[in-house]
Structure 1
Amino acid sequence: MIYVVATTKVKPEGREAFIAGAKTCIAETHKEKGCISYELHASVNDPDVFVFVERWETRDDLTAHSRAPHLKAWRELSAPMKASPTAIEIISGGKVQKL
């Protein structure tokens, strides 16, 4: 399993449009092969910080998602709303036994 955590800060005036566009992207992403979950969360400390938390069956499924037409449309729509670039962390599903 592959996890993705993508954090974005949006401009306050773009917040509502960002949420609306994200809902469309999320609905389409849920239909993709290998999508286990794809959720958007807002920070409790800063209402303009959003975090996508994703789970994918395989890295190939995630790669296919990155090329999906609805994701391209979402990137184009959301770009002017962002206050800074999105920070993306990809995490493997393997557990650490001991630290």
Structure 2
Amino acid sequence: MIIVIGEFRFKADKMDEIRPHMIKVIEASNNEDGCISYAFSESIQSPGLIRVAEKWKSFEDLEQHFKTEHMNNWREAATLVGGSTDRNVAAYEVKSIKEL
């Protein structure tokens, strides 16, 4: 399993404009065959800060995700609102899981 976790930031005054695009990419990504879960969350303490949490069956599935039409649309939408900053997102390969 691949875990993607991280965060990025949009200008706070652009959040109303970008949210509908976030919803679209989340819904489409969650419908991909290799996606286990895909979520963004908006910080309540730091306006414009978005946290990312994704689970994928494999790196191959994640690579395919980057090539989808909805990801291209997401990138275009993000660019139109001025782009994201402070991006810190990484993928980790998980070998074992312990439920807490």
TM-score (norm 1): 0.86
Q: CA deviation at 1:35?
A: 0.4
Residue 46 of structure 1: SS of its match in structure 2?
A: coil
Q: How many residues align?
A: 96
In the TM superposition, 1:1-99 aligns within 5 A as: 1-81=1-81, 82-95=83-96
Which stretches in structure 1 are left out of the alignment for 5+ residues? none
Q: Shift in Å at residue 45 of structure 1? A: 2.4
Rounded Cα–Cα distance in structure 1 between residues aligned with 2:6 and 2:65? 14
3-state SS of the aligned residue for 1:32? coil
Percent identity between matched residues is 23
Shift of 1:91: 1.1
1:68 Cα deviation from its structure 2 partner: 0.6
Question: What is the DSSP-based 3-state SS (H/G/I as helix, E as strand, rest coil) of the residue aligned with 2:40?
Answer: strand
1:5 and 1:18 map into 2 onto residues whose CA distance is 20
Q: Deviations over 1:8-33 (max 9, x none)?
A: 11112211122111001111111111
Distance 1:36 1:17 in 2: 27
Preserved CA contact (<8 Å) 2:25 2:74: yes
> RMSD of the TM alignment (CA)?
1.8
Deviations for 1:33-55, whole angstroms, at most 9, x for unmatched residues?
A: 11000011112320210012100
